[in-house]
Amino acid sequence: VIAISWVALTAPYTTVVTLAYSCSQSSTCCPHGPYFRPYFRPYIRHTRLPQVEFGANQVILTRTTECLNRLPDVIRNSNAMRLSVPQAKGLEFNDVFLVDFFEDSPVSSEWRVLNTFLERVRVAQGRDGGGDGGAGGAPGVSHRHHRYVTVEVPVTRSERGDLRPLPFDPAQHTALQEEFKHLYTAITRAKNNVVIFDRSASKRAPFYHLLRSLGLARVVTTSLLEDGADAVKYGLTEQATSSAQEWAKRAHNLEVHGAYSMARKAYLQAGDPVRAAAAEAQHLRTEAAKSESTSERRVLLADAAAAFLAALAGAAEAEAAEAGSKRAAEGAGGEDDDVGGTARVA
């Protein structure tokens, strides 16, 4: 089951949807099959949120790197892994928190194409007797869509304009096609759960409505901290949720994919300051290569060199300490042998 839900982490008032690839709810507790009846309610940010711990298997994704810098301090100063959607390519996490994807998207009303898609799915289901198969179907709608059982979702007056259908035009909607690719990349980074939060009511409306209408969405209206089970499920607790080994594995994974800044953070969580310094040096060198300012590039390269030297010094100290411990252990073993030998001679 993949659920999109959201705990009030980024704004005083939040609205949430959830997405599920499959639903394990029985018809008893879920009378509409795999559909969670959604409802909305503002939730005031929990005062204890700064104490929330994210694990090595959770990540917060934003549309671009610039959007990462606009995340609230409570998140940027936490141990949470934070990446842009392009940076996350090739990576996998148990839980993905997608923040303000539609708010930061360069397209706006074009998202209404999803309303047209939903209409065509409904037409296809009607021709096929509710979507259970058959020879009919609306043009352009594959039979693989017929497994969905659409439900009627209440629409507010403010949503009606955003939910008007818009025909898809490949020539005019090239930017929208790119956005779909990014959205696909973001959602498929998750192995278990996807959590979506978005502040743009108009731009998010078509996608939220599509998920709800296809029975793939539900709304979480309270902080996950108030429900211990959900907090653990989504990797949100007030204690460490990952071991040092898990953090080290995640750090190496991030480093291989060039996400050096987050690799540094993960290495620190793993208790490895030497590799953290090396990752910081790599990050600074990468930033220097991007800089168009000669003076800024020199400063960044100097800082990168200092970080590399700090990593080398730390590695040398660690090696010396390990060698000293080994000699001490061997010396203690030798003394035991002498004592044992004397006893045997006697």
Q: Domain of 102: which CATH number?
A: 3.40.50
Residue 200 lies in a domain: yes
Residue 282 lies in a domain: yes
Residue 341 lies in a domain: no
Calculate the CA 333 to chain-centre distance: 50
User: Are 91 and 110 in the same domain?
Assistant: yes
pLDDT > 70: what percent of the chain?
Answer: 67
pLDDT > 90: what percent of the chain?
Answer: 39
Q: Is the CA virtual torsion 41, 44, 50, 52 positive or negative?
A: negative
Q: Which of 234, 259, 275 is the last residue of a domain?
A: 234
pLDDT tens profile 202-218: 999 999 888 888 887 66
User: Are 188 and 102 in the same domain?
Assistant: yes
The pLDDT of residue 54: 77
Give 317's pLDDT tier (boundaries 50, 70, 90): confident
74: pLDDT strictly greater than 90: no
User: Are 267 and 249 in the same domain?
Assistant: yes
Q: Which two tokens stand for residue 305?
A: 């060199």
Q: Which of 92-101, 143-152, 160-169 has the lowest mean pLDDT?
A: 143-152
The pLDDT of residue 35: 27
94: pLDDT strictly greater than 60: yes
Residue 109 lies in a domain: yes
Mean pLDDT of the chain: 74
User: Are 223 and 256 in the same domain?
Assistant: no
| DSSP per-residue letters across 149-174 | --------GGGTGGGS-----TTT-H
> Which residues are 62's β-sheet partners?
84
User: Are 280 and 211 in the same domain?
Assistant: no
CA–CA separation, 29 and 32 (whole Å): 9
User: Are 88 and 163 in the same domain?
Assistant: yes
Residue 2 lies in a domain: no
Give 14's pLDDT tier (boundaries 50, 70, 90): very low
The pLDDT of residue 270: 93
Residue 340 lies in a domain: no
Q: Which of 177, 205, 234 is the last residue of a domain?
A: 234
Segment 283-308 mean pLDDT: 93
CA–CA separation, 281 and 335 (whole Å): 44
- Range of 297's domain? 244-330
Q: What's the number of domains the chain is made of?
A: 2
230: pLDDT strictly greater than 60: no
Residue indicated by tokens 């000669």: 294
CA–CA separation, 12 and 4 (whole Å): 19
The pLDDT of residue 78: 81
Residue 338 lies in a domain: no
Residues 6+ apart with CB under 8 A from 133: 143, 146
Q: Which two tokens stand for residue 276?
A: 């953290």
User: Are 261 and 288 in the same domain?
Assistant: yes
User: Are 94 and 178 in the same domain?
Assistant: yes
186: pLDDT strictly greater than 90: yes
